[in-house]
Amino acid sequence: MSTKDYNDYQAVAALGLLPDNENPLFLFNSTSKELLLDIVNGRLDPVQMARLELMNRGLDTETGNWIGWPKKSMEDVFK
């Protein structure tokens, strides 16, 4: 994220034009310090976790379209 992006997100947040749950500046607000440290230190992959969450919601990981809950092994998810 660039400084401009950061400032833009701050501005729309201040004006109430973007819901907090869609503003990336607030992505980790409720995340514990321990999980943040795991992410920063490479022990937890946030992209992998987002992929798993989309799959748990039955959404395609490329388009976000509903596809149902595919039967995938954990090895497929955590490649």
Asked if 35 and 59 sit in the same domain, the reply is yes
Residue 65 confidence (pLDDT): 93
Query: One digit per residue, pLDDT tens: the chain, 79 residues?
Result: 999 999 999 999 999 999 999 999 999 999 999 999 999 999 999 999 999 999 889 999 999 999 988 666 666 666 6
Asked if 23 and 39 sit in the same domain, the reply is no
Asked if 38 and 23 sit in the same domain, the reply is no
Asked if 79 and 48 sit in the same domain, the reply is yes
DSSP annotation string for 19-39: -GGG-GGGTTTTS-HHHHHHH
What's the domain range around 25? Answer: 1-30
Asked if 43 and 69 sit in the same domain, the reply is yes
Q: What is the pTM of this model?
A: 0.74
- Tell me the two tokens of residue 21: 């749950």
Residue 35 confidence (pLDDT): 97
